[in-house]
Chains A and B, each alone.
Chain A
Amino acid sequence: MTALPHPDQPLTPAEARRVDAQLDWVIIPLFVLLLGAVFSFEFALLVGDWDYWIDWRDRRWWPLVTPLALSTLSGVFGYAFWRLLRIPVGATLSILALTGAAWLSRYLNFHGFANFPMNMVFPSTYIALGLMIDCILLLTRSFFFTGVFGGFLMGLLIYPLNWPMLAPFMVPVEMHGMLLTVADTMGFQYVRTAMPEYVRIIEQSTLRTFGEAVTPVTAVFAGFLTILSYWLWVWIGSLGVKAGWLRKAV
């Protein structure tokens, strides 16, 4: 049995390297879990139904609220990873964690527990947006320009990025003399307590007069808002990494 080193004995270089590696093994999974947990929690309560249901992914609200919600963790953890570790992975990693958590939850909860078909509740894809934000950060090394270009593109590209997956559900069908989309008919078959948009008449008011231009109009508006949102969350991220202390209160 070897004697224990003195409690105050400095660590040898080999021990110090081992400590560094051990810390990585604790902190990296912790960060991945946190990213998945926080993003999933936030996304559920800010975007929620707009992303849960295929018939809710409309042209007006879904492309607007989604990039605003996506820019939060992309900004906060993008700043943290860039500022502390100098690696541009915050947006990609957080959106990847969100995607993993969303797939697991949709399968276990919406499909397994509540018996909705998976093709009605599958998550949208956003990973490319995270990659784009991080690549722009890597190229420009500036949060200002990442917000200008990346933020704008994040708002602009939500719809075209998901279009290949959405298109089969947007095919028009006639049911009982009414013209609907395939997604609408699924909504009629699976009535939910949060009524779908065609009952709530989301696309109301004069926006309807834009006709097919609703999607690009929304995308450009979302792009501008996401620029501001990204900057705001980068600033919040700069507050989040502060290692502050308080004097003991009691």
Chain B
Amino acid sequence: MSAIPRPAGAGSMQRMAAPTSKASTGAPWLRVFAGLAALCFVFLVYRIYQETTAFTHGLDYFSGEFQAYWMRLLYTQLVLVIGGGTGVLVWLWRTRERDFSRVGRREELRRLFVVSSMLLVFGTIFYITGSIYTESDAAWHQVTIRDTDFTPTHIGLFYFGVPVLVMWGFISFAYAHTRIPYFGGRISLPFAIIVAGAFMIMPNLGFNEWGHTFFYAEELFAAPIHWGFVLLGWSSFAAGGLLTQIATRVMELTRPAQGATQAA
């Protein structure tokens, strides 16, 4: 499994120069901070909307106001997240690097920082979704009994936070494997585990809601019906392997040339 040779091209001095190289040797901080600020703003506005309207218009699925305030939001966000995410994935595939040997050392380094920054954004989404939004659901369902699977906190958690997390995971995975020579021609197992774990939350959600509908209307958060989510959360334990892969490649790319070392 680990004996697959590194793809030829990267690190070779014989290849053609990349047509464009921005020669950056660091993370795209401006874009990272702008992205994180935008992300936090969206989740904050969503949370304010939730606090403002959950108790006033979100208690009865069968009321007209629930349909107006929450179901419209649900349909809109699903279309935006799934449609937008799919569009980005298609764009990434259509513009993929077809000849990794054309990617120079500095360009590969820049792309490694881009994917590392994307993982930072992934971690932020995971924190907001896995901690704040998840426990808002825990708190909400202690004071209200669910009447359907669609409640204000579920709509925020399972149909907004988790799809955003899954889509961003797919996008990060696709970026790495379509643009970085080190990831080209093979699949990073830890990266695949992380992304698959996030995605499998959705099928597990189906099981969870089926169980709640079938035999378990109340909300005991540590109940066995929720343990599937825990298992999927543990997929992030593979982060150590992924970061090892990235750091190993960065070390290879930043290693000074043999002559330069001797001269120094």
Contact = CB atoms under 8 A, between A and B. Distances in A.
B158 to A, nearest CB: 14
B254 A245 contact: no
B113 A34 contact: no
B141 A193 contact: yes
A212 to B, nearest CB: 26
A4 interface: yes
B23 A5 contact: yes
Interface residues on B, range: 35 or more
Contacts of B113: 22-23, 26
B32 to A, nearest CB: 8
B226 A241 contact: no
Contact of B190 (A13, A46, A243): A243
A15 B26 CA distance: 9
Contact of B135 (A27, A34, A105, A246): A105
Contacts of A22: 25-27, 113
B34 interface: no
Contact of A10 (B18, B192, B256): B256
Interface string A1-27: 000111111111101101110110111
A112 interface: yes
A235 B183 CA distance: 27
B1 interface: yes
A113 B113 CA distance: 38
A134 to B, nearest CB: 17
B127 A112 contact: no
A76 B219 contact: no
B256 A110 contact: no
A243 B218 CA distance: 42
Interface in B104-119: 104-107, 109, 113, 116-117, 119
Contact of B138 (A5, A36, A109, A195): A109
Q: Count chain A CB atoms within 10 A of each CB in B1, B2, B239 and give the residue with the most.
A: B239
A176 interface: no
B230 interface: yes
A37 interface: yes
Interface string A61-86: 00001000000100011001000100
Q: Is the interface of A mostly helix, strand, loop or mixed?
A: helix
B241 A248 contact: no
A44 B134 contact: yes
A84 B255 CA distance: 19
A243 B130 contact: no
B186 interface: yes
Nearest to B222: A48
A30 interface: yes
Interface residues on A, range: 35 or more
B221 A248 contact: no
Contacts of B242: 243
Interface in B47-83: 50-51, 54
Given A38-B236, A101-B131, A242-B241, A193 B218 contact: yes
Contacts of B23: 4-5, 7
Given A10-B257, A33-B123, A114-B142, A244 B1 contact: yes
Interface string A37-57: 110111011111110100000
A36 B264 CA distance: 43
A9 B106 contact: yes
A11 B241 contact: no
A116 interface: yes
A49 B138 CA distance: 9
B238 A19 contact: no
B1 A26 contact: no
A109 B138 CA distance: 8
Nearest to A195: B218
Contacts of B129: 37
Interface in B229-259: 229-230, 233-234, 236-245, 247-248, 250, 253-257
Given A8-B105, A240-B190, A244-B2, 7 more contacts: A13-B260, A15-B25, A37-B123, A44-B221, A101-B131, A194-B220, A242-B2
Interface of A: 4-13, 15-16, 18-20, 22-23, 25-27, 29-31, 33-34, 36-38, 40-42, 44-50, 52, 65, 72, 76-77, 80, 84, 101, 104-106, 108-110, 112-116, 192-195, 236-237, 239-249
3 tightest CB-CB pairs across the interface, nearest first?
A7-B104, A48-B221, A48-B222
7 contacts: A10-B260, A15-B25, A45-B226, A105-B135, A194-B218, A194-B220, A245-B189
